[in-house]
Amino acid sequence: MQRYFIEPGQFEAGEVRILGDDAHHLARVMRAEPGDRIICSNGVDREVLAAIREVGKSEVVADVVEERVMSGEAACGVWIAQSLPKGDKLETVIQKCTEIGAARFLPFQSERTVVQYDGKKEAKRVERWQKIAKEAAEQAHRSRVPAVDSPFTWRELMKLVPEADLALICYEKEGALQLKRLLGGFFADKRGIAPGGGSGDAGRVLLLVGPEGGFTEKEVSEAEAAGCRSVSLGKRILRTETAAMAALTCILYESGEMGE
Ligand code: SAM
């Protein structure tokens, strides 16, 4: 069953209106007909099952059949802070980590980031990243679309660390602290919290991943001073675009999202 994230204003008394690309997808690609059922969510606090009534060229109208409990969200909100990688690797990180259950993406520039981001010229890139998150969330049957921020500077990112209940900097040279022990302690008193609502009841985890060239020792020290724990993801060196997926999966697994 197709799922669409729509603006709150597209929910009207007893009906929903699908517009723009979504209407085109429904009408032209899915060849929707009156009576077909779809799921619509405002991406925040409302999700409905609806039955299509009218299929137009630029608008599809559907009658609300029932209100649905918002599921599909993790109880632990994981923020992925990814140093801007080369090429389109960030799109891969956003797509895969949205499927797995990330709550937010915070691209950032660090000392060894090769890609320089020019906010004026490249606002379109953030729009494309957000579109990728929306499409991945629809495909994954999530109730929320993770937000994708415009890239932060390193300083700006450090100021956000206190907003997390647990902040991790993935550092391949970390010899002592292993992820499992750290997460075991953090989630010890949070297991059993019902996943799904995405309310973040099981806490907020900020995860920092470096660029292809890695973090400098100075950056790791600054991150630790800001409250991050330096953590190893094991003995193998992961590509920058692999590291977030691996760490996110471990975090959600340990939080109970994949069963107790
Ligand atoms: N310094 C690495 C090297 O020797 O090739 C390059 C960095 S690695 C390709 C990119 C990022 O992935 C790192 O900055 C780190 O955040 C993360 N990463 C990769 N493997 C890791 C591991 N085994 N433990 C912790 N973090 C890892």
| pTM across the whole model | 0.87
For residue 208, the ligand 1 atom closest to its alpha carbon is 16
Measured over all CA atoms, what is the biggest interatomic distance in the chain, rounded to whole angstroms?
A: 61
Instruction: Please work out whether the CB of residue 234 comes within 6 Å of at least one atom of ligand 1.
Output: yes
Cα(112)–Cα(200) distance, integer angstroms:
32
3-state DSSP: the chain helix, strand, coil percent, rounded to 5?
35, 25, 40
Cα(238)–Cα(252) distance, integer angstroms:
19
Centre of ligand 1 from the C-alpha of residue 21, in Å: 38
Instruction: Please work out whether the CB of residue 223 comes within 6 Å of at least one atom of ligand 1.
Output: no
CA 52 centroid distance within chain = 29
pLDDT given at position 197: 46
Side-by-side strand order, sheet with 77-83: 147-148, 104-108, 77-83, 204-209, 166-170, 229-231
pLDDT given at position 121: 66
Instruction: Please work out whether the CB of residue 232 comes within 6 Å of at least one atom of ligand 1.
Output: yes
Instruction: Please work out whether the CB of residue 147 comes within 6 Å of at least one atom of ligand 1.
Output: no
Residue from 149, 146, 122, 150 nearest 134 by CA: 146
pLDDT given at position 157: 98
Instruction: Please work out whether the CB of residue 108 comes within 6 Å of at least one atom of ligand 1.
Output: no
Is the CB of residue 131 less than 8 Å from the CB of residue 21?
no
Centre of ligand 1 from the C-alpha of residue 242, in Å: 9
Query: What are 155's two structure tokens?
Result: 């300083």
Pairing label, strands 104-108, 147-148 = parallel
Predicted confidence pLDDT, tens digits, the chain (260 residues): 888 999 989 998 899 999 999 999 999 999 999 999 999 999 888 899 999 999 998 899 999 999 998 777 898 999 999 999 999 999 999 999 999 999 999 999 999 999 877 777 678 899 999 999 999 999 999 989 999 999 999 999 999 999 999 999 999 998 776 788 889 999 987 766 655 444 567 899 999 999 999 999 999 999 999 999 999 999 999 999 999 999 999 999 999 888 77
Cα(107)–Cα(93) distance, integer angstroms:
10
Mutate to test the pocket of ligand 1, among 86, 110, 170 (most ligand atoms within 8 A of CB): 170
Is the CB of residue 154 less than 8 Å from the CB of residue 221?
no
Instruction: Please work out whether the CB of residue 160 comes within 6 Å of at least one atom of ligand 1.
Output: no
